[in-house]
Amino acid sequence: MKTDKPIDEIVENLVQELKRGTLVLSVLLSTEQPVYGYSLVSRLQGVGVQIEQNTLYPLLRRLETQGLLESLWDTTESRPRKYYRISELGVQVRSRLDVEWSEINKAIERMKHETD
């Protein structure tokens, strides 16, 4: 089946799917210490994980609802900030996701070398 979509659009959509699949692990790896949303965006972008605030905040709320993150408010500043950190359950889930990520990555690397 032929598509009328240009290759760049197809690749961009597929890259977005790949990124979406790694965001949870990225956030769980980046919340060992309490961090507020904007600084988490900066931290992730600093290591090459591109994420927008309008994507991050719903993800943080979802992970908190699932019990993978804990939050606390800091009201000592003039502007209160909500900080997030990984929960004990989140640490366990992160560990298992990390193993799964490693296995997926190894399988892809094996497939890439088979085609060389």
Delimit the domains of the chain by residue range.
7-114
Band the pLDDT of 82: cuts 50, 70, 90: very high
Fold of 7-114: Arc Repressor Mutant, subunit A (1.10.10)
Smallest Cα–Cα separation from 71: which of 55, 58, 87?
87
Give the pLDDT confidence score for residue 2 in this predicted structure: 64
Better pLDDT: 18 or 30: 30
Could you give the C-alpha distances from 36 to 12, 49, 103, in angstroms and in order? 29, 17, 31
For 85, the enclosing helix (H) or strand (E) is strand 81-86
Give the pLDDT confidence score for residue 59 in this predicted structure: 96
Give the pLDDT confidence score for residue 20 in this predicted structure: 87
* pTM recorded for the entire structure: 0.85
Which tens digits make up the pLDDT trace of 31-50? Answer: 999 999 999 999 999 999 98
